[in-house]
């Protein structure tokens, strides 16, 4: 039979500590040490999973906010670049979304995302601080009613809502 690692560890400790204490004392003295270490390991796992759980429960709140959000004004902005993007969840290289990037005189940018001629998202980049989600953000119309009802931080990843693709297939 294969010894379990717990027993083996005690035996190794036991053999190391043989000497002045004698066999019984060193064995008895080592047992609580070994079990305390196991408890410590268990606690460490529990804390680890608790932190993971906390992060998982907080993440969706910080990722997206629901509400009624006003699209940004393009006043003072001019078109600086147009890109075609693959913005659905299937990265098949089909670039269904047109991104128009508008810039103003002080280096702020607004992105307009359209698919089949429908605006489904706006991106606003007022500065280069990714943590500044007040001034750098994304607005998405999740259900196609014309109201931008989802707000994300500027560096978050978003996808074409299903309604845009369905509208395009009509």
Burial of 22 (0-12, 13-18, 19+ CB in 10 A): exposed
Among 15, 145, 157, 170, binds Ca ion (CB under 5 A): 145
Instruction: Count residues binding Ca ion (CB under 5 A).
Output: 10
- The DSSP secondary structure of 47-105, one letter per residue, reads HHHHHHHHHHHHHHHHHEEEEEEPPPP-TT-EEEEEEEE--SSS-SS---EEEEEEE-T
Of residues 72-131, which lie at the interface with Ca ion (CB under 5 A)? 86, 88, 90, 92, 94
The interface mask with Ca ion, positions 18-57, x = CB under 5 A, is ----------------------------------------
To which residue do tokens 């070994």 refer? 34
With CB under 5 A as the contact rule, the residue among 113, 122, 126, 141 that binds Ca ion is 141
Q: Name which of 21 and 143 has its Cβ closer to Ca ion.
A: 143
Q: For binding to Ca ion (CB under 5 A), which residues are involved?
A: 86, 88, 90, 92, 94, 141, 143, 145, 147, 149
């Amino acid at each position: 039979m294969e010894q379990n690692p717990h027993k083996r560890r005690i035996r190794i400790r036991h053999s190391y500590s043989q000497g002045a204490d004698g066999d019984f004392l060193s064995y008895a003295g080592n047992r609580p040490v070994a079990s305390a270490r196991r408890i410590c390991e268990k606690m460490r796992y529990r804390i680890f999973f608790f932190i993971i759980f906390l992060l998982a429960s907080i993440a969706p709140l910080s990722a997206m906010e629901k509400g009624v959000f006003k699209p940004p004004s393009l006043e003072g902005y001019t078109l600086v670049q147009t890109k075609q993007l693959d913005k659905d969840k299937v990265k098949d290289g089909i670039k269904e979304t047109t991104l128009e990037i508008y810039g103003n005189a002080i280096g702020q940018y607004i992105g307009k995302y359209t698919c089949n001629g429908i605006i489904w998202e706006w991106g606003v980049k007022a500065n280069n601080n990714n943590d500044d989600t007040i001034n750098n953000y994304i607005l998405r119309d999740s259900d196609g009613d014309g109201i931008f009802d989802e707000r994300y931080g500027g560096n978050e990843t978003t996808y074409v809502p299903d309604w845009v693709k369905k509208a395009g297939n009509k």
